[in-house]
Chain A
Amino acid sequence: MEAPRQAKLELRGVTLEHTNERTRQILPVMQDVDLKIYEGELVCLVGPSGCGKTTLLNAVDGLMPLAGGKILVDNRAIDGPGPDRAMVFQADSLFPWRTIVQNVMYGLELQGKLPRQQIRERALALIQLVGLSGFADHYPHELSGGMRQRVNIARALVMEPKLLLLDEPFAALDAQTREFMQVELLKIFARTRTTALFVTHQIGEAVFLSTRVVVLSARPAQIKEIIDVDLPPMRTLAMKHQPEFLKMEQRIWQLIEEEARKTGMLTVA
């Protein structure tokens, strides 16, 4: 953050609303949020449950209209989904009727810019990058949860997006696999140098992966605090037990707890 860098992603006064189709009730989800994310950064969004983290991620992906404000990628306002952004969904979002390589080929196939053979080669390269060569012709149900999640990452990365969006990608994994996948993700990012915005419920995961952690307030969400994670870029699982790490984790917990109390989710002191 020393040199004047151009923001990869910029939120300008972003306001989000959610309409309940049945009751016609319009719920304010996010109020006037400004945020800048720079090239190569991995920023995590955390906040009390139901504060609109995933909604914001969907809005950045272009899947949801804004009630106000602007979202800019490389200084250009977005209008719907685009090839400059790609989303890593949860494990069960792979198309079960497509093989692994066909799943990874999906986005490029839709674009239809490259010949099929070239798309396949790029997909295979990504499958190797996430450590799954040999499984290209398997179907998703033949893979473990952790392996499926690597495919999900490959499916997004093959698009070579300027910005990668991750929506609680490890939520469905068991605790062990989850920790290993966190390390894997950092390795993959070190190689691809992707800029990423990441939503998680797990504070430890947020601190471990991020360069910065954005703590959101209760709904309608605003940015409560941004915490710089000054851990060395090459992280190991052992760091999770270091005092600085634990201190950051505790600080974020404290912030979220304050917010959760406002919503009545947490009632006892």
Chain B
Amino acid sequence: MDVTTTKATTQNAGEPRLAPPKSFWTRNEHALLGAFAMTAFLLFWELSVVYEWVNPLFTSAPSRIATTGYDMFADGSIWPHLRVSGYEFIVGFGMAIVIGVPLGILMGWYGRLNAILDPFVSALYATPRIALLPLIMIWFGIGLESKIAIVFLGAVFPILVNTITGMRTISADFVKVARSFGASDRQLFMTVALPSSVPLLLSGLRLGLGHALIGIVVGEMYGASAGIGHMISVAGARFQTDAVMVGIIIIAGTGVALTELLRMIERRFERWRPQVGG
């Protein structure tokens, strides 16, 4: 657009300029503070073992965890666990998205469908899905299928409920605007309902992600022959604190990384939102 030809009577004609760039410290203040606190914590942990303030059998130590982790990757003993858990997560969470999002959109859009299915969704959403584990084991055995089922059940309800809420809380003003411009039902759906429910849909995915990780760990602890949860459980029974910590860090790291990935996607979709905070 050529700005120079603009003659807005109520605007000042001054050309926009760039403000001086912020310093490295100001820009990254929060990230740096976080990194600093984490480093201090790890250092204190390590020192508490070096100076024998605590027994490393109970607490392990950052250096021991790192060594054990390195060994487990080097001798390949961790890979089967990662493969199993990864497979369970991808299939279970993937199915939760593929089924939860479209079903949520349909339930949000068609009031009658919502009325029919809502009692089931509400009841299952309110139940801790972990309580269903014994049943799921009876139905699916202790193989991959039961873990996929528990991951799916954990993740699908937050996704479903958030998507429904997103679709049902469309601003009446926007509907009025769309109707005024002659929008058909289909156009109202595409141009108003879908875009305005994207933020809630994405936060549903983020919630579902947490539940999916819980499902993996608890499911594998309850009954499995491989997987990170299984590994944690076995190592714990043998007082191998270092290996337990490696498992926890892998789960936590996956959770943080995937949540961050979803945040990035959210930001990409929400450029139109005013920036809050700094």
Q: Which residues in A have some Cβ–Cβ distance to B below 8 Å? A: 61-63, 81-83, 86-87, 89, 92-93, 95-99, 106-107, 109-111, 124, 131-137, 139-141, 146, 159, 177, 180-181, 183-184
Contact = CB atoms under 8 A, between A and B. Distances in A.
B180 A110 contact: no
B174 A110 contact: no
B266 to A, nearest CB: 13
A131 B181 CA distance: 23
Contact of A180 (B5, B9, B181, B274): B9
A92 B173 contact: yes
B180 A133 contact: no
Those 8 A-B pairs whose CB atoms lie nearest each other, nearest first: A131-B8, A134-B3, A107-B181, A141-B274, A139-B272, A97-B272, A87-B180, A180-B10
Interface in B127-184: 173-174, 176-183
Contacts of B177: 87, 89, 93, 95
B195 A184 contact: no
B211 to A, nearest CB: 28
Contact of A159 (B176, B181, B183): B181
Of A87, A111, A140, A159, most buried by chain B (CB within 10 Å of CB) is A87
A141 B274 CA distance: 6
B187 interface: yes
B75 interface: no
B10 A184 contact: yes
B273 A96 contact: yes
Contact of B1 (A62, A82, A133): A133
Instruction: Among B1, B176, B192, find the residue whose CB has the most chain A CB atoms closer than 10 A.
Output: B1
A131 B9 contact: yes
A80 B171 CA distance: 21
B182 A81 contact: yes
A148 to B, nearest CB: 13
B268 interface: no
Given A89-B173, A110-B183, A136-B1, 6 more contacts: A63-B180, A81-B180, A81-B181, A97-B198, A110-B191, A146-B10
